[in-house]
Amino acid sequence: MVTISVLLTIELPASHSLKEKRAVIRSLVERLRSRLRLSAAEVGLQDHVGRAQVGFAVVSGDLGTALSLADAARRFADDALLGEGEVIDVAVEETVLD
């Protein structure tokens, strides 16, 4: 079994209130969950207006499939945030259990 945990740090220059920020982040998290069937959540910087951290996890039977899905989710997040925000940092952790 392989798990990949990804932490995205997102810059949201167009958000001027926590309400605006949360609308963008909530939409991204819900689309990651529904379209890519991933576990996803806003996991950090909840009270910071201009930045957010979103985490998601991939579980698979093999490393290639897990990496492919994690990469697809990262590209999806970039596309979903177009015009509203930008991913400025990505942290990835892989765990392989035999």
- pLDDT tens, position by position, 35-81: 998 899 999 898 899 999 999 999 999 899 999 999 999 999 999 89
Q: How many residues does the chain have?
A: 98
Dihedral of CA atoms 15, 19, 22, 24 in degrees, nearest 10, equals -50
* Alpha carbon separation from 60 to 1, 14, 18, 35 (Å, rounded): 6, 36, 35, 17
- Residue 98 burial (CB < 10 Å; 0-12/13-18/19+)? exposed
CATH of residue 45: 3.30.70.1120
What's this model's pTM, rounded to 2 decimal places? 0.88
Between CA 66 and CA 61 the distance in angstroms is 8
Give the domain extent around 88.
2-96
Number of structural domains found in the chain: 1
